[in-house]
Chain A
Amino acid sequence: MFDKIFVPKKIILPNGKVVLEKRSYTPLILLILLIATIFSVHITGFSMEVIVKRIKEFFVILDQMIPPNWEYTPKLWQPLMDTIKMSLLGSALGAIVALPVAILASSNIIKSSIVVSIVKLLLSILRTLPTLVSALIATFIFGLGTMAGTVAIFLFTIAYVAKLLYEQIENANMDAYEAMESIGLTRIQAFRYAIFPQVLPNYLSTSLFCFEGNVRYASILGYVGAGGIGLLLSEGIGWRNYANVGIILLMLAITVFIIENLSEHFRKKLV
């Protein structure tokens, strides 16, 4: 269709042959982007004036965060540990449950295409649901506290790890699996001895990576009442006690940094 509106340029080569040079898509894409930008500016009420006038408020807040309120630290340990516990438990359980789910979603192990596509669809729905939203729903069911956060992280971990794992399983080398089936092993046994060793390092590494990300998520889940340090964070901001917010963010950054480095160390060993 594009070629009909913008007719390709004809070039006659010295030997008399005619070649067509297709027009570039770039101007069209730029035009679409420009229209979308103007439209978005209109919808969101974006105005440069407000930014220029009031952006200093942002730095006022940042300025009040420094120096952080060190005396607040002793009160932080318990919620911080809660946050780590939530993400650890959610990730561990999620990673364990993800294994059978991933097997159900891999088209080379499960022959029924209906099962495979239903499980895949459920996994992508679960993955698109933002963690904060599932945490919010969980607080209605399990009450306020760490349980809701654990459930939200658990669900997200299943979706994330299972997706990466079934891609691994589908790309795994099937020769050994077929050989084992042909000598009479059941499909589960053949999976255990032929496919599982192939995907194990990646499975563990993905789970660790997911745990890393979950610590970050868990830190804000408290905002909707799902336990952990996020509760103190939203309190601090609500009361405009920015020195407290500063120390919480600092502690969070240090925790995330330590956990990321630990997990990176083990992930490098695995792969």
Chain B
Amino acid sequence: MNAIEKQLLSEKKNYQYITWIFVIVFVLFIWSLSAIQLNNMGTSGLTIAKNIITGILHPDLDLLFNITEKGVAYLLIETMAIAFLGTIIGAILAIPLAFLSASNVVPKPLAFVTKILLIGIRTIPAIIYGLMFIRVTGPGPFAGVLTMSLISIGMLSKLYADVIEDLDTSVLESMTSIGCTMFEKIRYGIIPQLLAMFLSIVIYRFDMNLRDASVLGLVGAGGIGAPLIFAMRSYRWEEVGSILIGLVLLILIVEFISNKIRNKLVRGY
């Protein structure tokens, strides 16, 4: 037995711990198996599945290339507009909240309270906000914009705050030592450090907002979700197919572009 084998054998083995974890996960798994209920499925399920697949493979091309207000293109633009405006508003409003929740900028108790508030904002799902804002503005894309803004604030403030807490303060100290004013310190010491990261976070959030905005239509808050659910409820699978194709393409393209820009912003290539 050489030294390496001795070292290997002397390593602590917590088989007991691993076994227990396995048993617990297995029991939970068995317990959750009751979520499978096939009795509701019936025979119509298979025909519907077939219809869906044929519908998606033979999309309604008229709808897909229609450029009026009912066409997929306009709906996609509306969805993008909701996500864009929501992201912009959220990105601006999140900045003060982020500074208020960064523990190296404001006193600890205040930062803690703001953080709790932000966690509260984040826990409520987007759809619930959508339903609440519909009571404020009535159904339509405007409700979607407000929803997007609120959920963007929740997440952006947290990510901004993480960046602010990682701020390199030695730069500021050296600027103080050479006699810079407060304004110069903010302009040349803080903004260059934060801007690229903030922009990258905002673009990432836009990406996510686009997905959420496409779903918000299900509750009537504008965008492509409403026509999608109407088409499904009335079993017009060709329309569903063309809407889904448009949506998936748009999200893939936006994701590709946003990844490119973010790489350039953060890593410089």
Contact = CB atoms under 8 A, between A and B. Distances in A.
B123 A141 contact: no
B49 A141 contact: yes
A237 interface: yes
Interface string A34-64: 0011011101111100110011011001100
Contact of A85 (B31, B120, B214, B252): B31
Contact of B141 (A43, A133, A219): A43
Contact of A137 (B77, B81, B120, B232): B232
Interface in A220-261: 220, 223-224, 227, 233-234, 237, 245, 249, 252-253, 256
A132 interface: yes
A43 B76 CA distance: 12
A141 B41 contact: yes
Interface stretch (B94-102, B131-139, B156-164, B179-187): B131-139
B146 A51 contact: yes
B16 interface: no
A98 interface: no
B252 A128 contact: yes
B36 A89 contact: yes
A36 B80 CA distance: 10
Interface in B97-148: 120, 123-125, 127-128, 131-133, 135-137, 140-142, 144-146
Contacts of B136: 50-51, 54-55, 57-58
B64 interface: no
A36 B84 contact: yes
A194 interface: no
A220 B125 contact: yes
B37 A146 contact: yes
B40 interface: yes
B129 to A, nearest CB: 9
Top 3 closest pairs, chain A to chain B, by CB: A143-B40, A40-B81, A44-B141
Contacts of A130: 211-212, 214-215
Contacts of B36: 89, 146-147, 150
A210 interface: no
B23 to A, nearest CB: 15
B211 A141 contact: no
Interface of A: 33, 36-37, 39-41, 43-47, 50-51, 54-55, 57-58, 61-62, 82, 84-86, 88-89, 92, 124-125, 128-130, 132-133, 136-137, 140-147, 149-150, 216, 219-220, 223-224, 227, 233-234, 237, 245, 249, 252-253, 256
Given A37-B84, A37-B85, A51-B146, A249 B215 contact: no
Given A61-B135, A132-B127, A220-B127, 6 more contacts: A43-B78, A44-B144, A57-B135, A141-B45, A141-B48, A143-B37
Contacts of A128: 211, 247-248, 251-252, 255
B237 to A, nearest CB: 9
A51 B49 CA distance: 43
Contact of A88 (B29, B49, B82, B140): B29
A140 B232 contact: yes
Interface in B209-243: 211-212, 214-215, 218-219, 222, 228-229, 232
A58 B146 CA distance: 11
B42 interface: yes
Contacts of A129: 244, 248
B40 A50 contact: no
A127 to B, nearest CB: 9
A146 to B, nearest CB: 4
B110 to A, nearest CB: 22
